[in-house]
Structure 1
Amino acid sequence: MASLLRRASHNFVRSLTQRKVSSNSVPLLLSPTQVSDLAKSSTPVSILDATWFMPGSPRNARNEYLAKHLPGAQFLDLDEVASPHELGLKHMMPEERVFASACEKLGIEPSSHVVIYDAHGVFSSPRALFMFRSFGHEKSSIINGGLPRWVDEGLPVDNQPPTDPGPTVYPSPAFNKGAIRSYDQVVSNSSLDPAIDPTAELVLDARARGRYLGTDPEPRPGLSSGHIPNSLSLPFNLFLQKHNAKDGSEYTTFLPQAELRQTLHNSVGADRAEQIIKGEKYVVTSCGSGMTAGVLWLGLKLLGVDNVSLYDESWTGYAMRSTSKINKSL
């Protein structure tokens, strides 16, 4: 208990000291037009396609990238730029040198403005942005609306094999260890009631409501649905809005800030939402495998929330362990 209290106090103080710096940081979201203008400027820009599809999907992210991508874009495989895991989990946060080596292969330098997109609109790109920001690469953003919005706004795409960006030098960065939570930390925190214990971190679950309640199955065969004790449901799609493209397809973007705030109020209650926004309550985002937890992380960042981490293993790692307590009711 004492260690949790010290950690919460340390994180709160750290967030206060960083708040002024973060307010002047590179935008988290960019429109396609802003990215097009940025690419024409003298600023060194590295564009990454970070598309990822759920297990069992017939779609292949790398093949789709090769068929259609932004001019000059490289493909970032989030399952490849990752650390091995004892349970075989994918896209876990990479070690410092793994991240740096990936940047060097992708032609990224520490001074590069990294612009990330995906083929959904907003889905996997926030997870990639979370990775870059956690390694201190503040010059990083996502395209709000991704590849579909880029195409819908009439901007050019490329279907030629990508050119080799040439090697760069990217020193191993320092990783912000407070950015992620481990299984042991989540289990310890799950015994604390956030309604009465000020040291409790609030876990927000980005999965669909039925999976959280245990009434719908998980997409991964053999894995129980349900939720971590004392966690709250906030499906990631509630932070997003759908758009109809000219070709009849759909894509997503983030809600405007006021609507993000109202969604948070509706999901966790007005008082608790304001505690989160003011930095008085620490938040941990979770999902099925650590991917769409990035959407909640980014949505909270857009609201100015500094005190937010991500449970890297998320529900897959939690539910795979026989010792985990699983709730199936509110």
Structure 2
Amino acid sequence: MSTSDKSCLVTTKWLAEHKSQPNLHVLDASMKKVAGRTPLEYNELTVIPNSLDMALEKNFTDTSTSLPNTFPTAEQVTLATQTLGINKDDTLVLYDNQGIYSSPRAWVIFKSMGFKQVYILDGGLPQWLADSYPADTEHARPKSARGNFVAKFEKEWLVTAKQVLAATQSGASSIIDARSRERYLGQKEEPHKGMRSGHIRGSFNLPFLDVLDDNRFKKSAELEDMFVSLVGPKSPHLVLTCGSGITACILLVAARIAGFSEVQLYDGSWSEWGANPQLPIDPISNI
């Protein structure tokens, strides 16, 4: 994570030209539950041909915890990736059926687990269809041969509530919340019963839809201007948060595209922070 990553995206044209390569795997990272935007719906299962189903919400999520959408363990990722027939030197292209929604989450998971060649399809399935490329109605089956990738979690990708609390006190990091303006301001009731409304004290608000241009990420220069105007040019270290750690990953990838190299995910996000009365919140915007 020491350098910026403006090359985390591939276009539909690139994928169409390269998807027949033997060591390239296309993974569907779609989620059944979509929050924070009006879901795109399909009459039937629609997928990019020969793509594999990641089962992101099951195989790449730690479902043993009380928090929703908890980051998976390295053991989980190793098992799921090997079952998909993926080797350590392969290339992965991730997409989701909302355009840009959960594929950045999958990208953060793979990158934090040490996978090198992994990319997001900019625009996802909607852009693929808009560009008149073919679709299928079922996923491909994993290869019979088991893959050899072994995940090794790089902890610097994530921060804990304790670290976020320290950041609110020191001001060493800029904390950016990807939730809607209404939820950030505490003007909209939280979806979980008993959850406090508001936001992490001292955090900024950048709704995840603002970094997107329809189904795709905005251009790097536009994203850079957006982040700099929000946190200032002298705030290189960013902590991204949201409701449960999914849409914060959209901001994390956007920040990388914008040239910010020190970016971390607060995976517990508001599901953890808002439920703990010991952690400080602001009920109104600091912007």
Q: Indicate the residue corresponding to 1:275 in structure 2.
A: 234
Q: Indicate the residue corresponding to 1:239 in structure 2.
A: 211
Larger Rg: 1
Q: Indicate the residue corresponding to 2:257 in structure 1.
A: 302
Q: Distance in 1 between matches of 2:180 and 2:112?
A: 26
* Percent identity (aligned): 28
Structure 1 residues 218 and 141, CA gap change in structure 2 (3 angstroms): same
Amino acid at match of 2:226: T
Q: Indicate the residue corresponding to 2:15 in structure 1.
A: 35
Structure 1 residues 309 and 255, CA gap change in structure 2 (3 angstroms): same
- Higher mean displacement: 151-160 or 213-222: 213-222
Count of residues paired in the alignment: 283
1:207 aligned to 2:179? yes
Structure 2 residue aligned with 1:82, among 44, 61, 86? 61
Structure 1 residues 214 and 183, CA gap change in structure 2 (3 angstroms): same
1:182 aligned to 2:182? no
1:317 aligned to 2:272? yes
Q: Distance in 2 between matches of 1:111 and 1:65?
A: 36
Amino acid at match of 1:285: L
TM-score (ref. length: structure 2): 0.90
Maintained 8 Å contact 1:207/1:287:
yes
Q: Indicate the residue corresponding to 1:50 in structure 2.
A: 29
**Backbone CA RMSD of aligned residues:** 2.5
Q: Indicate the residue corresponding to 2:169 in structure 1.
A: 191
Structure 1 residues 56 and 37, CA gap change in structure 2 (3 angstroms): closer
Q: Unaligned 5+ residue runs, structure 2? A: none
Q: Unaligned 5+ residue runs, structure 1? A: 1-14, 195-199, 243-251
Maintained 8 Å contact 1:289/1:313:
yes
Which digits, 9 at most, give the CA deviation of each residue in 1:15-47, with x for residues without a partner? Answer: 6xx43xx66x9x3111111011111335x1111
Q: Which has the higher helix share?
A: 1
1:289 aligned to 2:248? no
Q: Indicate the residue corresponding to 2:225 in structure 1.
A: 262
Amino acid at match of 1:48: L
1:100 aligned to 2:78? yes
Q: Distance in 2 between matches of 1:113 and 1:65?
A: 31
Shift of 1:118: 0.7
Shift of 1:58: 11
Shift of 1:326: 1.8
Q: Distance in 1 between matches of 2:177 and 2:95?
A: 23
Structure 1 residues 255 and 72, CA gap change in structure 2 (3 angstroms): same
- Give the match's secondary structure for 2:210: helix
- Give the match's secondary structure for 2:76: helix
TM-score (ref. length: structure 1): 0.79
Which digits, 9 at most, give the CA deviation of each residue in 1:250-296, with x for residues without a partner? Answer: xx10001111112113323xxx2x224xxxx3111000100010011
Q: Indicate the residue corresponding to 2:92 in structure 1.
A: 114
Q: Distance in 1 between matches of 2:83 and 2:70?
A: 19
Q: Indicate the residue corresponding to 1:160 in structure 2.
A: 138
